[in-house]
């Protein structure tokens, strides 16, 4: 397999997991649950893309499945949470803007995989 074909295939095997959430913050307990959910996302390697959108780079479908299950294990008791994944190719087609100016995409993290 040529290097070009390998890179093209990787764009479809590498995934990005997105977690969108809208959690209540009316009570002290709600705010605590909100903060704990965000901390758990960050501990699992997710980074904030926007206030209630977190993203994580995964090197394979199997790795993405592990992190998706982990997020499901610490879902907040109230609110709405959406988890979905896109391929690296699809992620590369996203356009990012801040105040009508195009901005750079988030960096792909350097991750060490041990087999």
CB atoms within 10 A of CB 4: 8
Mean pLDDT of 63-73: 97
Whether the per-residue pLDDT at 115 is higher than 50: the answer is no
Mean pLDDT of 24-37: 97
Query: Domain for residue 70, yes or no?
Result: yes
Whether the per-residue pLDDT at 111 is higher than 90: the answer is no
Query: Domain for residue 107, yes or no?
Result: no
Mean pLDDT of 76-94: 94
Q: What is the pLDDT of residue 13?
A: 84
- The CATH number of residue 63's host domain is 3.30.70.240
Query: Domain for residue 75, yes or no?
Result: yes
Sign of CA dihedral 38, 46, 85, 58: negative
Q: Is 54 exposed, middle or buried (0-12, 13-18, 19+ CB in 10 A)?
A: buried
SS3 category, 102: strand
Query: Domain for residue 114, yes or no?
Result: no
Range of the domain at 70: 3-102
| pTM recorded for the entire structure | 0.79
Query: Domain for residue 14, yes or no?
Result: yes
Q: Which residue has the higher pLDDT, 105 or 57?
A: 57
Query: Domain for residue 112, yes or no?
Result: no
- What are the angstrom distances between the C-alpha of 54 and each of 28, 32, 38, 40, 93? 23, 18, 9, 11, 18
């Amino acid at each position: 397999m040529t290097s070009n074909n390998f890179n093209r295939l990787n764009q479809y095997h590498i995934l990005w997991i997105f977690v969108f959430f809208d959690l209540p913050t009316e009570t002290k307990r709600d705010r605590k649950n909100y903060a704990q959910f965000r901390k758990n996302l960050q501990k699992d390697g997710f980074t904030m893309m926007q206030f209630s959108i977190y993203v994580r780079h995964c090197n394979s479908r199997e790795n993405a499945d592990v992190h998706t299950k982990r997020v499901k294990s610490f879902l907040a008791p109230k609110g709405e949470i959406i988890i979905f994944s896109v391929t690296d190719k699809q992620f590369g087609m996203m356009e990012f803007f801040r105040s009508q100016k195009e901005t750079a995409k988030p960096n792909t993290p350097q991750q060490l995989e041990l087999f």
